[in-house]
Amino acid sequence: MSSEDKEAQEDELLALASIYDEDEFKRAESAQGGETRICLELPQNFKIFVSGSPTECLQNSGFEYTICFLPPLVLNFELPPDYPSSSPPVFTLSGKWLSRTQLSALCKHLDNLWEENRGRVVLFAWMQFLKEETLAYLNITSPYELTMCHQDEQSRTSLFPLNSELDCCGAACAAAAQEEILDERTVQDVESLSSLIREILDFDQAQQKKCFNSKMFLCSICFSEKLGSECMYFMECRHIYCKACLKNYFEIQIRDGQVQCLSCPEPTCSSVATPGQVKELVGEQLFARYDRLLLQSSLDLMADVVYCPRPCCQTPVMQEPGCTMGICSSCNYAFCTLCKKTYHGVSPCKVTPERLMDLRSEYLEADEATKRVLEQRYGKRVIQKALEELESREWLEKNSKACPCCSTPIEKLDGCNKMTCTGCMQYFCWLCMRSLSRVNPYRHFNDPSSPCFNRLFQAINVGGDVWDDADVH
């Protein structure tokens, strides 16, 4: 190795290390060489379209994805002793989303760049070409359609991009396609199209997150500018808030049991946080509560799911169609799915006084079909009794008053306003409902300071007429 070649190689490798970060350029430890990982600059709203061969069952077939990044092209190189004066770098080129024919065309162009720059370092020119001109050189446009073809010779699967015509990749690509010449320096190992799509989407998401973390954003809650690494955005609407504000917001909602309301704080936005975002921000205990309540709210929407009525259990129980018996899989408690009491077979459900009041209103407002269901559930006699008690209570409220001492309902048919309770024998005034003296109950009506003075016979019905004290002598 001449001193000029050695110095040129060292200068080139040091320059590349200073231009690119460790993810893009890595120098080899044991030889004069290294590896470059080149991410292409994609146009905005670049799409990939997935199609499978007729014989291949492909879950993602027929789907279109919008991406910002594709997995990098990997250029591994080694510098011979007489580079750059005489020999070019020895290299291999790999890229999973390109076919070997396309990779061969790129290798051919790298050779042409060396011929144009013979005697000078060429690695930077190669990397710039791959980064900035690959799509145009191979005539790759959006949507970029991917499928799989099978090579019988080697019994392995390779990638075949449908919308990138093989005769549109420049003269080198056309020649390679026509003669089926595949450059031995190309590496294109794809296990399956499904795994490739997963790899593309995962890489795109990771790169987008990396870019997001390095930028500054204004939180719409606290109005502070923070790095993306301290922020979070909702997937659907892309509204951005700092993690501290979202953490407080999520914790308040979860403590209040509003797990369905973990939506974007923007007033008119309906985007919802993903469970992964919630788990990242709140503590383990609160996330467990969120997870439990979210599951419960989902089960509540299922008509065939009831909960074990034991307070210490509350396990979800699947209800068999047409059957009112539920058996808890956790505690083996057999219960009625209607009244939540111990299973009582074909006997009607027992009704508490509180439920009886609701049942009356529910029965009176129900249609005929619902009435039959209620009669079957609680029994027709229970329903009839509830209605009779309702009528009795309404009549008593309209025609009687409660004794001020024992609350016994008292009806007044005629006579004076000094009443005697049939339950506790207490005297009381019908007009003001005050208890009267047992020694002299009439003093209440004779005392000028009493509100019922001279009203002992007020509002007495005689022959259908109302008499006042002024008419009675």
Q: Could you tell me how far CA 414 lies from the centroid of its own chain?
A: 71
Residue with tokens 């499928």: 147
Residue with tokens 């492909």: 58
Nearest 5°: the CA angle 425, 431, 435 is 35
Hey, which residues does 402 pair with through a beta bridge? 409
Burial-class residue 294 by CB neighbours within 10 Å (0-12, 13-18, 19+).
Answer: middle
Residues 246 and 232 sit within 8 Å (Cβ to Cβ): yes
Catalytic residue among 39, 68, 405, 416: 416
Alpha carbons within 13 A on the beta-carbon side of 67? 27
Residue 416 bears catalytic tag: yes
What are the φ and ψ backbone dihedral angles of 344, each rounded to 5 degrees?
-120, 20
User: To 10 degrees, the CA torsion angle through 117, 119, 121, 127?
Assistant: 30
The DSSP line for 151-168 is ETTTTEEEEEESSS-GGG
Q: List, as own/partner pairs, every contact residues 76-81 make where C-beta atoms lie below 8 angstroms and the sequence separation is at least 24, other chains included.
A: 76/33, 76/34, 76/35, 77/33, 77/34, 77/35, 77/36, 77/123, 78/28, 78/31, 78/32, 78/33, 79/9, 79/32, 79/33, 81/1, 81/5
Residue with tokens 């991009």: 161
Nearest 5°: the CA angle 258, 261, 266 is 140
| Rounded-to-integer distance, Cα 306 and Cα 317, Å | 5
Just list the catalytic residues: 416
